[in-house]
Structure 1
Amino acid sequence: MASMLAQHGVKRARQSPEALKAQKDKETAKLQEYLVLTDDIFTKKKSSDWSRPAFDLTTRLLNMNAELYTVWNYRRNILTNGIFPASTPEEINGMLSEDLDMTMVFLRKRPKVYWIWNHRRWCLEHVPDGPVDDTNGWRQAYWLKELSVIGKMLDADSRNFLAWDYRRYVLASMPNPPPEANELAYTTQKIESNFSNFSAWHQRSKIYTRLWADQLDHQTTKDEEFELVKQAMYVDPNDQSAWIYHRWLIGPGDEKVVLDREISVIQELLTVEPDSKWCLESLVHYKLLLVNKHGEKLTSDRQQLLDDCRRMLRKLKGIDPQRARRYDELESKCTASS
């Protein structure tokens, strides 16, 4: 009787030598097929073969390995140079739809392969004009569907930076994009479900940069953002996402009243989390901003601020010794500002 192995409480029979050989033979045959197919495709590519059979071969190979960017490029060349010129808009529309379906199958298994996302972009950019009696044509329908698709991808992995980058691309490319407020609400939802979602914070900064340029009242919404990021910092003071966003909100530190207020907020958190690297680093950064940007408004506080920075930097060297040289450099800036 074959010996039994127990794994996670489930017993299973060890494979027989015959079964192992059959599996190895199968893998060898698959590898041989892959190598022959690859060689065939590269030969056709070299001879500028833009035929449908060549296109079908790329489908076979990409189903075996979707990370071959050269094959993706060849596939697009076949469509552009060979298949599209001999096709009607309806036929082109159908082929692009099939490619989008195919890439979605690949992305479910390999959601962080750039070449697959890149091919989706190409497909969307080559959708032909739709029927003349359709106000938005096929294009708008594709983009709306794409926004829904990317939403599902981010539901599966809300921190996939490639998916977030692709979402920004979709929103920027849509003929009739949804209001910015919709996307702002979307990032709020993602952040509130996971404060450490760096990509959602980054997306939020992109939206506000545009809104503050020509639409929203800058001060009111910025104060609301400081309140949101404060919640994140207090929930997990060791997560860098909120701290980076907070630093973006502060900017060059032109507003002394904001610097003073936020320093007090972080100082209060430090009393609860005395060894928080991000609390200490941020306080050093903001106090140096106070000295360098608003030094003329400071009197006896100036030296106290610099002494505080030096004390915190010495503590940071103990907490985070790998960055000791960086903290030494900051300490020298404190001395130079004295």
Structure 2
Amino acid sequence: MASHGVPRSSTTVRTPQAIQADLLKIEAYNNLVSEVQALRFPSVQKSKHTYSPTSLSTTSSLLTQNPEFNTIWNFRRRIVLHLLLPTSSSSPTLKDDNDQENDKLSLLSSELNFLFPLLQKFPKCYWIWNYRVFILQTASTNLSLQTALKLWKSEMGLVNKMLSRDSRNFHGWGYRRYIVQNIETLQKDINKETTKEKEEGEGEEGVDGEEEEESLAEQEFAYTTTMYGKDLSNFSAWHNRSKLIPRVLSERGATIEERRTFLDGELGEMQTAVYTDPYDQSIQLYNHWLLLESCSSKQTTSTSPVFSLTNSQKLETLSRTLEWMRELLDEEPDCRLLLEEMIFVGSLFRDLDETEEEEDVDREEIKRDMQSWLEKLMEVDPMRGGRWREMQEKL
């Protein structure tokens, strides 16, 4: 068996020597657990050593063996927060702001580096990811905005590596959206500071600084294009694309006509993609979203519509879509996904208000076609026969 195309390693019969070696490892592990627990609940005499770099190192040894030990991750959080305090410095002299910033950066960077090999070995361990998010959030609150931004941006390198190994991992895509959101927030705060400094230092020498682009929507949109270009079945890429399109068009200041042109381009891509593999649900779902967002008689978004089409433009789009779908159905008459999508397009037709411009649209013919498609669905998809029969009765 395989997960996302990645084969699982085969199991082998263990020898008595291997079993004995495992027993020794278990004993060493239990001793390590006892040592860490003693640090968590120390005696009065040793309490001052609880949140020390030595304690951090000891928890590293334990978590390397068992990253699922969430309680120890929480203990590690407390150690890190304590070490970030100015009073936790081992030096008796006060350090200037730059030295303190460098010490904090060194600690947080070392924590991120510690997690990297663990993520390679245990990529789906939630506790590792949660702790990594904690470190990045801690960087945002304890470091300067510029320094924190560099850490968050470097995190994109990890996400790129992760998605290059497993491009359809929805955990990775969700984490990528989270990283992008925080990068944009930090950049926005930096730009505010830059603007404020310019206003306060107007007329003074040495006040300089250019504001950088806050939004990464265009960059991320291009990334989805790259990813689905490598694998049309990458549902996460299509899903992310659907989330980005409203932002991209809004930030471009796209006119109604430009939005229509954009939609035509996306629908053209979908026609090619569906022809390539009509049995791919990821493609069909994205095509479904485009049509629902552009041609539905009901508004599907909580904000302004993404594509503002007139009734006649909606009819034209749906007619053009049904035309190429009919041609494809002749080649793939038993494709369930295609039949379902054609019924969906037909339902969008029927939901639109009738206009005088519908000379080329025969609603009764569409109804008859939908009945025949439902008949075919009952044949190729008997498991959902009751559903298709009920839909047919409601036509």
Contact 1:295–1:302 (8 Å) recurs in 2 = no
Structure 1's unaligned 5+ residue stretches are 1-13, 131-135
User: What is the aligned partner in structure 2 of residue 233 from structure 1?
Assistant: 274
1:65 has 2:66 as partner: yes
Structure 2's unaligned 5+ residue stretches are 1-11, 90-99, 188-213, 298-313
1:21 has 2:35 as partner: no
User: What is the aligned partner in structure 2 of residue 158 from structure 1?
Assistant: 167
Mapped partners of 1:63, 1:104: distance in 2: 11
**SS where residue 294 of structure 1 aligns?**
coil
Judge which range, 233-242 or 144-153, deviates more.
144-153
Contact 1:191–1:201 (8 Å) recurs in 2 = yes
Quote how far apart the aligned CAs of 1:35 are.
3.9
User: Superposition pairs for residues 1-338 of structure 1, below 5 Å?
Assistant: 20-38=15-33, 41=36, 45=40, 50-80=51-81, 82-85=82-85, 86-87=88-89, 88-127=100-139, 128-130=142-144, 137-174=146-183, 175-176=186-187, 177=214, 179-215=216-252, 216=254, 217-251=258-292, 253-254=296-297, 255-294=314-353, 301-334=362-395
Mapped partners of 2:227, 2:280: distance in 1: 16
Quote how far apart the aligned CAs of 1:51 are.
4.6
Mapped partners of 1:45, 1:256: distance in 2: 68
Q: 1:73 to 1:218 in 2, by over 3 A?
A: farther
Quote how far apart the aligned CAs of 1:36 are.
4.5
Mapped partners of 2:32, 2:233: distance in 1: 44
Over aligned residue pairs, what C-alpha RMSD do you find?
Answer: 2.8
Give the aligned residue type for 1:84: L
Judge which range, 293-302 or 168-177, deviates more.
293-302
Identity %: 31
Q: 1:44 to 1:206 in 2, by over 3 A?
A: same
Give the aligned residue type for 2:119: L
**SS where residue 111 of structure 1 aligns?**
coil
Quote how far apart the aligned CAs of 1:158 are.
1.2
Mapped partners of 2:319, 2:30: distance in 1: 65
So what's the TM-score if we normalise by structure 2?
0.71
Quote how far apart the aligned CAs of 1:194 are.
0.8
Contact 1:154–1:163 (8 Å) recurs in 2 = yes
Q: 1:129 to 1:53 in 2, by over 3 A?
A: closer
User: What is the aligned partner in structure 1 of residue 96 from structure 2?
Assistant: none
Mapped partners of 1:218, 1:277: distance in 2: 31
So what's the TM-score if we normalise by structure 1?
0.82
Give the aligned residue type for 1:283: M
Give the aligned residue type for 2:385: A
Mapped partners of 2:34, 2:338: distance in 1: 57
